[in-house]
Amino acid sequence: MAEIISGKVVSAAKREEIKNRVKQLNANGKQVGLAVIIVGNNSASRVYVNNKKKACEEVGINSYEYALPEETTQEELLSLIAQLNKDEKVNGILCQLPLPGHIDEQAVINNIDPSKDVDAFHPFNVGHIMIGDYTFLPCTPAGIMEMLKFYNISVKGKKCVVIGRSNIVGKPMAMLLLKENGTVEICHSRTENLKTETLSADILVAAVGKADFVTADMVKEGAVVIDVGMNRNADGKLCGDVCYAEVEKVASFITPVPGGVGPMTITMLLENTVRAVE
């Protein structure tokens, strides 16, 4: 039976460390501020933004929310970002995605000052991740690396398979595993003989966005399984990309959903915001 990698445990330890760093910055006369922009009435986005505000309060980061109506134009949004780029009390800027259809998300990301881009989505920061010389990391992959480190799971020399090639998780995840000397393979929906590839993985990261996609027959005995998925099954219950009940019997370590990768994402956003000041 696999040992559980608890995002709650790792997140609590990391937030305590962040809280102490914020106190130190405050003692040196520096405040830490995060601006969060939300456009429209997406209920999931509202939950995320509320959770981010709560997390900021917990560690002593000042949180500034900008809730804009659905009909906000791209020009208006870019104008706000330009103001926040110049605002000295704001160290990090996060624009909650997805945005309404009439707004170009990439244009918005491109207009955030790279030194305040705490999501690490700006092409400047993405480029630095590619060459392994970075200030900010995308929050979910960074959180996963923090979890592996906490549980003393070495990546060096291991075969790492990532299912998913998104700019938010799949691609940067591969780069971070590679930086830690893993041998990395990226798979996706069009990979032929996917099961053959996943069965070779010492560390398997599932970020495909399909409920219970990874089954026990796709996992090597003793593999470390990281589930990034956040889905609803047929009963409406929250579940991951990994069929947990099956896979925990063959894996050595596994992340649950909920309570696995999820708690780490916001924690690493706090980390990036503090790093922006430091």
DSSP calls for 131-181? TT--S---HHHHHHHHHHHHTT---TT-EEEEE---TTTHHHHHHHHHHTT
**Are 90 and 147 in a shared domain?**
no
**Are 35 and 94 in a shared domain?**
yes
- What would the mean pLDDT of 180-208 be, rounded to a whole number? 97
Examine the pLDDT at 4 and tell me if it is beyond 90: yes
Examine the pLDDT at 203 and tell me if it is beyond 90: yes
* Residue 106 annotated among the catalytic residues of the structure: no
Sequence-separated (6 or more) residues with CB below 8 Å from residue 34: 52, 56, 61, 62, 63, 64, 90, 91, 92, 93, 94, 118, 269, 273
DSSP-assigned letter for residue 77:
H
What CATH number corresponds to the domain at position 222? 3.40.50.720
**Are 254 and 147 in a shared domain?**
yes
Only one residue has tokens 């969060």, namely 36
When pLDDT is cut at 50, 70 and 90, the band that residue 44 belongs to is confident
The string of pLDDT tens digits covering residues 68-84 is 999 999 999 999 999 99
Residue 67 domain-assigned (yes or no): yes
| pLDDT confidence of residue 170 | 97
What CATH number corresponds to the domain at position 69? 3.40.50.10860
φ, ψ of residue 9 in degrees (nearest 5): -65, -50
| pLDDT confidence of residue 234 | 83
Only one residue has tokens 């997390």, namely 55
- What would the mean pLDDT of 77-104 be, rounded to a whole number? 97
Q: Which two tokens stand for residue 139?
A: 């929050």
Helix intervals (H) in the chain:
7-27, 43-59, 74-86, 105-111, 123-130, 139-150, 170-179, 194-198, 244-247, 262-277
Examine the pLDDT at 58 and tell me if it is beyond 90: yes
The string of pLDDT tens digits covering residues 136-167 is 999 999 999 999 999 999 999 999 999 999 99
Q: Which of 14, 116, 119, 202 is catalytic?
A: 119
| pLDDT confidence of residue 121 | 96
| pLDDT confidence of residue 235 | 86
* Residue 195 annotated among the catalytic residues of the structure: no
The string of pLDDT tens digits covering residues 210-250 is 999 999 999 999 999 999 999 988 888 899 999 999 999 99
Cα torsion angle, 100, 165, 3, 197, sign: positive
Residue 57 domain-assigned (yes or no): yes
Domain boundary among 113, 148, 175: 113
Sequence-separated (6 or more) residues with CB below 8 Å from residue 201: 159, 160, 161, 185, 219, 220, 223
Rounded Cα distance between 202 and 95, Å, is 35
**Are 181 and 239 in a shared domain?**
yes
Residue 278 domain-assigned (yes or no): no
Residue 120 domain-assigned (yes or no): no
* Residue 133 annotated among the catalytic residues of the structure: no
Answer for the pair 273, 23: CB distance below 8 angstroms, yes or no.
Answer: no
Closest-CA residue to 1 (of 225, 274, 227): 225
Answer for the pair 164, 206: CB distance below 8 angstroms, yes or no.
Answer: yes
Q: Which of 96, 116, 158, 227 is catalytic?
A: 96
Q: Which two tokens stand for residue 108?
A: 């918005």
**Are 68 and 180 in a shared domain?**
no
**Are 68 and 174 in a shared domain?**
no
Residue 23 domain-assigned (yes or no): no
10 Å Cβ neighbour count for 49?
19
Residue 17 domain-assigned (yes or no): no
What are the CA-CA distances from residue 90 to residues 54, 112, 219 (Å)? Answer: 17, 12, 44
3-state secondary structure (DSSP) of residue 116: helix
Q: How many domains does the chain have?
A: 2
**Are 186 and 77 in a shared domain?**
no
Q: Which of 52, 116, 171, 220 is catalytic?
A: 52
**Are 166 and 104 in a shared domain?**
no
Domain of residue 193 covers 139-262
Average pLDDT, the chain: 97
